[in-house]
Structure 1
Amino acid sequence: MQQLMWFRSDLRTQDNTALSQAMRSGSTIALYLVTPGQWQRHDDAPCKVDFWLRNLAELSQALAALNVPLLVRQCHDWNDAPLQIADVCREHTISAVHVNEEYGINESLRDRQVAAYLSQQAIAWHSHLDQILFKPGSVLTRSGGYFQVYSQFRKVCYERLHSALPGPVTLPRAQTPLAVKRDAIPTAVTGFAPPSESLRQLWPAGEQAALQRLERFAEEQVAFYKDERDFPAKPGTSQLSAYLAAGVLSPRQCLHAALAANQGEFDSGNAGVVTWVNELLWREFYKHILVGYPRVSRHRAFRPETEAVPWRDAPQELAAWQEGRTGLPIVDAAMRQLLATGWMHNRLRMIVAMFLTKNLLIDWREGERFFMRHLIDGDLAANNGGWQWSASTGTDAAPYFRIFNPISQSQKFDPDGQFIRQWMPELATVNKRDIHDPSALGGLFAPSGYPRPIVDLSRSRERALAAFKNLSPEALPA
């Protein structure tokens, strides 16, 4: 009984539920679909597509060690997936297809269509829980609904983890070699320009690179995570998000690394470990939100009433934000980090998102789209959840009157201006007191070549408060 393992956002052999089940069920062939039209429709970043391809090459080698040939097929978008997969199944006499579940509205529709088409061909479809710790629909409120508040969701997750900790999946043993030749892995895809070599070096591909990064973080940094994660000049975060988004690393592997670093505890003991596990559960929470409230996959606000916010059409200000020309150093440094590395520090993501949605009063969807087009760790659930949190339109969102001041945030989290100087060489000579707001030096002393702020922070804050106050009371986040 020959099996097909269809890889998507799960580019690894270790701790891979669908791959393990496929190989236990019979001789297995692997498949990956290159779908550039779909990727463009989803605003996937060129650096992320490049990361996928580099990891796919590493995956092909790892599968070869298990005698599993990896086939690569290209189609424009997911509408062609049923025929493509059925063709592979006919060619190789496949009796069953195995996948790991994905949760966006387009992904769910794709899988239903493929499963229905294969059923007509008498080919079985097996979908496995793998991308998250708990199946959507299994962590619910007492009334049977999906949670809208993270802290309540986390509490139930803690209870589940205490009673039934998800264990890692055993790597299958190598199977008997098949008379099927593996395909060459493309090194580029039309429509997605390759990133710089310096960016690639920041994100080495493959499971071993991911596991080494996880091990190093767990041994050297996770204990200090709570105290250092908000300071962008420090190596305080795991920088594993790209590997989790592509499925080169699983949340189970991360959870067990955290447990090993904390004597088996996840909600007590070392505060750094507990804080990091909470971040893993935030990731889980937003995945569940995709399923429970599918409108967020359609670029709609989680809180429908906030669609009435009078967002401004300000293309010049939007461009200044995108290009790091706002005149607010912490915002500009963060945007330059994103453009150069495909990644942005999490504290900075909140700062730049609040600046765009509150101080500039520009629709959060503009920021969400721009991030997806540049992030190597772009993930629909996490990106949408973060943007809607900052814009006060989402689940468990920041209260509309909570508006970060980018200058005070900069003073608090980059007190010496170290991060700003790294990305803003034109401010390298400004002292640590003035670097957070060079415009305060006045025209004669302000650094030449650096713009004045494009908006008055105080007046723009009042404008945002007025925009939200004018909504009906039920529109406002609690």
Structure 2
Amino acid sequence: MQLIWLRCDLRLHDNTALAAAAARGPTVAVYLLSPQQWQEHDDAPCKVDFWLRNLTILSQSLAALNIPLLVRTATHWDQAPAQLLKLCKELGIQAVHVNEEYGVHESRRDAAVSQTLKGAGIEFHSYLDQLLFKPGTVLTKTETYFQVFSQFRKVCYERLHRSLPALVKAPGKQAAPHISSDPVPVSINGFATPSQTLQALWPAGEDEARRRLDSFTDAQIDYYQSERDFPAKPGTSQLSAYLAAGVISPRQCLHAALHSNQGEFESGKVGAVTWINELLWREFYKHILVGYPRVSRHRAFRPETEALAWRDAPAELAAWQEARTGLPIIDAAMRQLLETGWMHNRLRMVVAMFLTKNLLIDWREGERFFMRHLIDGDLAANNGGWQWSSSTGTDSAPYFRIFNPLSQSEKFDSEGLFIKHWLPELAGLNKKDVHNPAKLGGLFGVADYPAPIVNLSTSRERALAAFKNLQSRLPAGGHDE
């Protein structure tokens, strides 16, 4: 008997570990509920709810193949080895199969499980699945992990030219075992169930993920490069939550994008090339997680930036978190996050730069807040994005690059449609004034909309001074890397 231990790979199709387990004999699936661990990792309630909803649908798909899904609890990952060993002994399991996960805690957990099972004579097999390339196989000429995306991408392109990662077939139907599936819980203590409105925005299941991928690559991908920066337009694939939970795989996304572009990933449709680029950014940040484990430990990728004089400004942090900064594009973006569990990618950069540069608040505060609210929360991508915006990360924006929220707003939401959707109190303003109601002055201003909590130009100067001060304290030669 084989056991597939499901984690962030909640799908039947193109699931490497599941296919490998089923190929070796009768298979049972297990999912471990780990609420304490999830809380320590700041997993959002809407994300936990999304996992459970997807698990419920996957359980039905597995049942159609006579693969029962068992649900066990290992409150903390420290309990995973004992729980899995107990289950293996109960069922007479010969081998456990998993898809590799990345991050310090994930690697430690899997190493502990592997050691415990092997000590009891049970095989443990892990497979490359949530990435196109195994971390440690895309390296510089000096055998180190890349720190610059464009160089990383070049090597990925060379590898893809030689061979494309193949899709894995879904397993066939097996003989019915004498084991019944467990019910999947509808909710978990400590994680509030999100609103039905939010749930309706993110229907669960592989069919929905595939539908989104197909509709995006059939038509929208052509406009991706030109429309992806405009939050009022449906310019993005809306697949990030499904990728984060493993309801769809990056291989499936890559194959669909290539299919829409006659097999090309460097030429042809600029939209398809740009989207494949985004898949490779996702890949890059996961490789960074493995190559530079400090980023899993709430440390800056560039250690010298740990000395930055971040401000302790709880009232300003709260205003940012609660969408009352007085800057409409920031507040509209934060409301989108709070109400939908998702934020448009361009706006993630805008609000992150505002927090870390204009407010000079530590990027870790923003990273944590995002993880606690994002349905697509992913340690590597979220950390990579925050460190990019705050100029503490790999291949990040130079410290003097500071987005101006007003010009970003005027450029990417010129009609104010996105702002007016999320801030209906500003709906009466014209498309010029809606970006900066404070300019109207108290007499003509909007009664129930706050004044800006910060002066953009003086706060920009403050950020530049803090970073310049850091530069002057560095030893000759720059990085202490």
Give the shorter-chain TM-score range: over 0.9
Aligned to 1:97: 96
Aligned to 1:278: 277
The AA in structure 2 aligned to 1:126 is: H
Aligned 8 A contact 1:434 1:441 in 2 = yes
Aligned to 2:85: 86
Aligned 8 A contact 1:48 1:375 in 2 = yes
Aligned to 1:23: 22
Aligned 8 A contact 2:304 2:480 in 1 = no
Aligned 8 A contact 1:330 1:436 in 2 = yes
Aligned 8 A contact 1:45 1:372 in 2 = yes
CA offset at residue 75 of structure 1?
Answer: 2.1
| Cα deviation digits, residues 124-182 of structure 1 (max 9, x gap) | 00000000000000000000000000000000000000001101001111111111000
Aligned to 1:352: 351
Aligned 8 A contact 2:325 2:331 in 1 = yes
Aligned to 1:415: 414
Aligned to 2:214: 215
Alpha-carbon distance between aligned partners in 2 of 1:453 and 1:269, rounded to the nearest angstrom? 45
Alpha-carbon distance between aligned partners in 1 of 2:74 and 2:165, rounded to the nearest angstrom? 35
CA offset at residue 301 of structure 1?
Answer: 0.1
CA offset at residue 475 of structure 1?
Answer: 5.5
Higher mean Cα deviation, 299-308 or 165-174?
A: 165-174
Aligned to 1:232: 231
Aligned to 1:292: 291
Alignment of 1:390 with 2:415, yes or no, is no
- Structure 1, unmatched stretches of 5+, are none
The AA in structure 2 aligned to 1:129 is: L
Aligned to 2:247: 248
Aligned 8 A contact 2:303 2:480 in 1 = no
Aligned 8 A contact 1:317 1:454 in 2 = yes
Aligned 8 A contact 1:7 1:31 in 2 = yes
Alpha-carbon distance between aligned partners in 2 of 1:87 and 1:313, rounded to the nearest angstrom? 48
Aligned to 2:338: 339
Alpha-carbon distance between aligned partners in 2 of 1:156 and 1:477, rounded to the nearest angstrom? 26
Aligned to 1:311: 310
Alignment of 1:60 with 2:59, yes or no, is yes
Q: Which runs of 4+ in 1 moved over 2 A?
A: 472-478
CA offset at residue 365 of structure 1?
Answer: 0.0
Alpha-carbon distance between aligned partners in 1 of 2:24 and 2:449, rounded to the nearest angstrom? 63
Alpha-carbon distance between aligned partners in 2 of 1:209 and 1:90, rounded to the nearest angstrom? 37
The AA in structure 1 aligned to 2:151 is: Q
Alignment of 1:45 with 2:48, yes or no, is no
Alpha-carbon distance between aligned partners in 2 of 1:364 and 1:475, rounded to the nearest angstrom? 22
Aligned 8 A contact 1:398 1:477 in 2 = no
Q: Would you say how many aligned residue pairs link Structure 1 and Structure 2?
A: 477
Aligned residue for 2:49, secondary structure, equals helix
CA offset at residue 33 of structure 1?
Answer: 0.1
Aligned 8 A contact 1:400 1:476 in 2 = no
Aligned residue for 2:28, secondary structure, equals strand
Alpha-carbon distance between aligned partners in 2 of 1:254 and 1:19, rounded to the nearest angstrom? 19
The AA in structure 2 aligned to 1:105 is: V
The AA in structure 1 aligned to 2:383 is: N
Aligned 8 A contact 2:100 2:129 in 1 = yes
Aligned to 1:192: 191
Aligned 8 A contact 1:393 1:477 in 2 = no
Aligned to 2:367: 368
Alpha-carbon distance between aligned partners in 1 of 2:348 and 2:453, rounded to the nearest angstrom? 19
| TM-score calculated relative to the size of structure 1 | 0.99
Aligned 8 A contact 2:302 2:392 in 1 = yes
Aligned 8 A contact 1:306 1:476 in 2 = no
Aligned to 2:135: 136
Alpha-carbon distance between aligned partners in 2 of 1:170 and 1:477, rounded to the nearest angstrom? 47
| Cα deviation digits, residues 246-273 of structure 1 (max 9, x gap) | 0000000000000110011111100000
Counterparts of 1:323-334 in structure 2 under 5 Å?
323-334=322-333
Alpha-carbon distance between aligned partners in 2 of 1:158 and 1:210, rounded to the nearest angstrom? 26
Aligned residue for 1:443, secondary structure, equals helix
Q: How much identity, in percent, do the aligned residues show?
A: 70
- Structure 2, unmatched stretches of 5+, are none
Aligned residue for 1:125, secondary structure, equals strand
| TM-score calculated relative to the size of structure 2 | 0.98
Aligned residue for 1:464, secondary structure, equals helix
Alpha-carbon distance between aligned partners in 2 of 1:257 and 1:174, rounded to the nearest angstrom? 26
Alpha-carbon distance between aligned partners in 2 of 1:190 and 1:143, rounded to the nearest angstrom? 49
Counterparts of 1:131-210 in structure 2 under 5 Å?
131-210=130-209
Quickly say closer, same or farther: Cα 1:18–1:274, change in 2 above 3 A.
same
